[in-house]
Structure 1
Amino acid sequence: MKSAAWIAGLLLAVAGAAQAQSVAFTFDDGPRLQETPLLSPQQRNQALLDALSAQKVSAALFVTCGNGADRPAGYALAQDWGKAGHAVGNHTMTHLDLNDANVTLAQYQREITDCDRITATLPGYQKWFRFTFLREGNTPEKRDGMRAFLKQAGYRNAYVSLDTSDWRLDEKLNDVLAKNPQADLAPIRQAYLSHLRQRATAYRDLSRQLEGRDIPQVILMHHNLVNALWLKDAIQQFRDMGWTIITPAQAFADKVYSQPPEKLVAGQSLLLSIARSKGLGKFEGWERLVDDGDAEIAALRQQGL
């Protein structure tokens, strides 16, 4: 018979494993039909899917239909995500900003409804909506109106806890390649991986401070060239850090994603909004969470890029 101490130790180990740091991968703005250096739209899409498959990761794509899914070529790319077993959600038709004073609540809601007519026909479709720019409205009326709209329509607000500025590094990557197709991309790759590590570590620490535990993180990335080139490396880096990869559905099942914060931090992580709602002011390292990759871009400039 096992001793009480042994059983207690086992229970502690199980509890620790249940709270071990995990992350779910999600991608916004795809599928893009715009041309980029190195890879065609079809090659970029396939590179992302190949990286996820190689690492055995089930992810989610939040479709901005006007980027391509409203046309046969882009629709086929979006289909490939569902066929590969990934979830497909809604990210509006044209990526309007609800914080823009010229964008009305009704206009924004039409963007969602119009996109849903397309995404609802895709394999992997989920009634998940992600706010563009992670901004839920510049007025209480917009914020509350959207919360009521999503609830009535049966949508989950697909919050992000681990937001990244991969888009900023993607801009740098495209700019460098446009000027020199033979450029050494190693510094950009390293900046990309270092940026993901820095953000992941900082949001893990913030979740422990706010929630007293490691929450299942939902990372925001984008359907772009920088991820098409190095997503496989990024996923491996998380594994090397000791993180477990889970599905978006598993992450969203955590209670932290079912408690809308009272005070929103526009364009940033759910955790920053929770911090503001709890009255947490500027904390150590907060600047690096809201700088949109300025530190990484500055470092690359110092290297001549």
Structure 2
Amino acid sequence: MTFGRALLIAATFFASTAQAQSVAFTFDDGPKLETTPLLSPQQRNQALLGALAAHHVQAALFVTCGYGADKPEGYALAKAWGQAGHALGNHTMTHPDLNDAKLTLAQYRQEVQDCDRITSTLPGYQKWFRYTFLREGNTPEKRDGMRAFLKQSGYRNGYVSLDTSDWRLNEKLTDVLRADPKADIEPIRLAYLSHLRQRAIAYRDLSRKLEGRDIAQVMLMHHNLINALWLNDAIQQFVDMGWTIVTPAQAYADPVYQLQPDRPAPGQSLLLSIARTRGMGRFEGWERLVDDGDFEINALAGSGGAPAR
């Protein structure tokens, strides 16, 4: 083999590898009208949309309607997502937990229907539903009942394959800023980026173990302050890693999102559910996928800085 041909084969390999691993950005729980340090609700919303636009990323917002979209000012924020070309899905009205023994299947279905009356009027509306807390119910009756309801209603399950605990680092960020508005938050930014990278690589590796390939990952993030501040950095990190950013619709076209694992453990990514359904057990690195960001929070508390990448 000539040197030139070897270079061509290597270039083709790395190009195909970069294209093979793709990720779609999705955000839950928005738009929120709550007060946070540094940015108003309108500024947070615009910062998220601005970062996505800067990188030409089409994302999805799973709307929890009672957090703001049921009011004119919040509805306008949600509408801006659709007008910018992003998809809008349903994340219930008030974010109840289907695993709550006190919550009935009928009540949870009503939450979806109430939110749908709002989201269906927005540009970018999609019949996608994402379970709150990624929990499909504490009984087989709830699980099967909701699956039947979604099918009958024409809803797609808005699965997550690449779960993140950005919400935990967001709590840390807001606590720090409320205590000291001038605090140095650079360590939290680095911890946030490190966390996203670690989860991305871990779920990529898990998809290879389970499916023998790189699936189109659907990443869970949230409509919150930490993403408003540093989503631009997060997107750039994926670009620098060589990942291709696709639309949620493109990702959901991957056949893995047609699977319906039993989900024996509550609140988890589709990939972890598949792993447990197939009897994979606790694999190397499992604990870092279910720790809700404990590793990063403990590292910040212990060293005053961010964990190493």
Q: What interval of TM-score do these two structures reach, taking the shorter chain for normalisation? A: over 0.9
Distance 2:122 2:185 in 1: 35
1:45 aligns with: 45
Superposition map of 1:135-284 within 5 A: 135-284=135-284
**1:117 partnered with 2:84:** no
By how many angstroms is 1:302 displaced?
A: 1.5
Distance 2:13 2:175 in 1: 49
Q: Deviations over 1:266-290 (max 9, x none)?
A: 1111000000111100000000000
- SS of residue paired to 1:162: coil
By how many angstroms is 1:57 displaced?
A: 0.3
Distance 1:228 1:240 in 2: 20
Instruction: Note if contact 2:18-2:242 (Cα within 8 Å) is conserved in structure 1.
Output: no
Q: Deviations over 1:104-152 (max 9, x none)?
A: 0000000000000000000000000000000000000000000000000
TM normalised by structure 1 equals: 0.94
- SS of residue paired to 1:287: helix
By how many angstroms is 1:39 displaced?
A: 0.1
By how many angstroms is 1:159 displaced?
A: 0.2
Structural RMSD (CA)? 1.8
For structure 1, the 5+ residue unaligned runs are none
Q: Which amino acid aligns with 1:78?
A: A
Distance 1:129 1:18 in 2: 30
By how many angstroms is 1:36 displaced?
A: 0.1
Distance 1:193 1:84 in 2: 25
**1:89 partnered with 2:112:** no
Distance 1:288 1:28 in 2: 22
- SS of residue paired to 2:20: coil
How many pairs align? 298
TM normalised by structure 2 equals: 0.93
Distance 2:122 2:68 in 1: 14
Distance 2:13 2:282 in 1: 34
Distance 1:56 1:15 in 2: 20
2:60 aligns with: 60
Distance 1:143 1:183 in 2: 45
Distance 1:261 1:53 in 2: 35
Q: What is the percent sequence identity of the aligned residues?
A: 76
1:130 aligns with: 130
